[in-house]
Structure formats: structure tokens, C-alpha cells
Amino acid sequence: MQIFNGNSLDFEKGMLIPINKPYDWTSFDVVNKTRYLIKKKLNIKKIKVGHTGTLDPLATGVLIVCTGKATKIINELQNDDKEYIATIEFGATTPTLDRETKPDKLYEWKHITIENIEKVLNKFEGEIEQIPPIYSAIKINGKRAYKEARKGNIPEIKARKVNIYKISIKNFTLPELNIHVHCSKGTYIRSLARDIGFEMNSGAYLKDLIRIKSGNFSLNQTLELKDFENILNLM
């Protein structure tokens, strides 16, 4: 499939568009905006558009948008490994495991050391069982978990096997920890933040997340949505 480079409008034949997902946008927001821009440019009423792996609204980074016949390989691309830069905040937990909701419980964090962090991170490398967040798009009995959670119906979510190939520390300044994570599909970095906090005899939530790689696509290959729109207008 062709990767969008501003030289072709062959979106119906099939194209991959690497987008840097904006903060506070859902992945479907990006898909809908991309679809609208393409339909407007081509003066058509319908075109298939999808993405290859959901990013949480408060995350940014690599989101591969597929158009036309390229949507047939979405499942294949979803299986690709992912890489993230994550900032974890110790000392509190939140219901959504990130900054979308306010802290619901506070914890001590001054006892945490870099030596203990390194030991704990080693425990999470390899194949692990991870419980996804209650506020996630996972379906439980045909219903989205986050929708049930917002109604006050707390769904029971079973642990799932994921693979974390490598975790490395980029920066550590209490109460924050900045890490680079290379992992398999289906890994929730919000859950990883929660579990690291508990292992440190504290609490933690995900303060910031950037997906820097998805399969063969890196962050430096992505387009801002506004840039994509500007390129289309010039073609």
C-alpha cells in the first residue's frame, strides 16, 4: 500500500497516512476529520477510512490512518509492536489511571529510589498478565467498559497476556518517572503505570503518553492534521 507523500490522491485505491494524533482528540476524531477532508477534496460522498490502533484521548503520537482498500490490512497492522514515552506520577491514583479524572487516593512517595525503580521495572519485562483499565474500549458482554463505568456499573475485567519487550528509564525526578516502553499490541500503559505504583508501595497514574513508533512508522514520519489539510489544499 502507498504511504501518503503529497504526490497522489489515490485514496480509494488504498493509502496509509501516518498522523500525529492531537492531544484531547479520540482516535475516531482523527479518522472522521481525515475522512471529511478526503471527501471534500475528491468531491465524493463515501470512502472507507480506519486506524490501526487506538490511542487514548490524552495521548499523542503515531496513529496510522488507512483509506480505501488499505482498510483491509488494518487487522494485520494492529498486530505490530508499539513504542511509547510515558511519564508516570507517583503519590496518587485516579479512576481512569490518567489525568482525565482527579486523584481518588493519595500515597507516600518519598521512599522511592532509582535502585528500587530499576528492580521493579525488570519484573514487568517479558510476557505478563495485565488487567486493562475499567475506563477502556474493551467490550464486556457486548458493552464498552468505559460506558458502563461512567454509569456507575463497574465491569469485571479479566487479566490479559501482553508482552513488554523492554522498559528503560529516561528521567527520574520524584515524584515523576519518565520511561521508554517497547511492547506488544494490547498493552495498556495506563495499567502499567498503576501496577508500577503498587509495586513501589505507592500509587501512580499516567501523566503523559506519546506513541513514538507503531510497526515501521516513527513519530518523525507523521503529519499534523493541519499539515495534512494544507497539503491536500495545494494538490
Q: How far apart are the two ends of the chain, measured CA to CA in Å? A: 20
Average pLDDT value for residue range 38-65: 95
- Label residues 37-67 b or e (16+ Cβ within 10 Å = b): bbeeeeeeeeebbbbbbebbbbbbbbbbbbb
* H-type alpha helices, 24-183: 27-42, 74-78, 114-123, 145-150
Catalytic residue among 24, 29, 56, 80: 56
For the chain, counts of helices (H) and of strands (E): 6, 14
Pair (64, 109) in one structural domain = no
Pair (63, 22) in one structural domain = yes
Neighbours of 217 (CB within 10 A): 21
Q: Are strands 217-218 and 204-214 parallel, antiparallel or unpaired?
A: antiparallel
Per-residue model confidence (pLDDT) at position 92: 98
Q: Are strands 143-144 and 82-90 parallel, antiparallel or unpaired?
A: unpaired
The total domain count for the chain is 2
Average pLDDT value for residue range 121-128: 97
Pair (200, 228) in one structural domain = no
Per-residue model confidence (pLDDT) at position 157: 82
Pair (205, 225) in one structural domain = no
Between 149 and 62, whose confidence is greater? 62
pLDDT digits (tens, 9 = 90+) for 68-110: 999 999 999 999 999 999 999 999 999 999 999 999 999 999 9
Pair (107, 198) in one structural domain = yes
What mean pLDDT, rounded, does the chain reach?
93
Instruction: Reply yes or no on whether 10 is catalytic.
Output: no
Q: Does 145 have pLDDT greater than 80? A: no
Q: Does 213 have pLDDT greater than 90? A: yes
Pair (164, 137) in one structural domain = yes
Asked if 90 and 106 count as a contact pair (C-beta separation under 8 A), the reply is no
Pair (120, 209) in one structural domain = yes
Average pLDDT value for residue range 109-117: 96
What pLDDT band is residue 146 in, cutting at 50, 70 and 90?
Answer: low
Average pLDDT value for residue range 33-37: 97
Q: Does 148 have pLDDT greater than 80? A: no
Give the list of residues 6+ apart from residue 178 with CB closer than 8 angstroms, or none: 85, 86, 87, 88, 169, 170, 171, 172
pLDDT digits (tens, 9 = 90+) for 172-207: 999 999 999 999 999 999 999 999 999 999 999 999
Pair (103, 207) in one structural domain = yes
Least confident window among 4-8, 25-29, 166-170, 212-216: 4-8
Least confident window among 25-39, 45-59, 135-149, 163-177: 135-149
The domain of 130 spans 82-214
CATH assignment at residue 133? 3.30.2350.10
Distance, CA of 5 to CA of 228 (rounded, Å): 10
Share of the chain above pLDDT 90, in %: 86
Pair (64, 25) in one structural domain = yes
Per-residue model confidence (pLDDT) at position 156: 75
Pair (46, 118) in one structural domain = no
Q: Is cis: bond before 95, omega within 30 of 0?
A: no
- How many residues comprise the chain? 235
Pair (210, 107) in one structural domain = yes
SS3 call for 46: coil
CATH assignment at residue 220? 3.30.70
Pair (89, 105) in one structural domain = yes
Asked if 93 and 197 count as a contact pair (C-beta separation under 8 A), the reply is yes
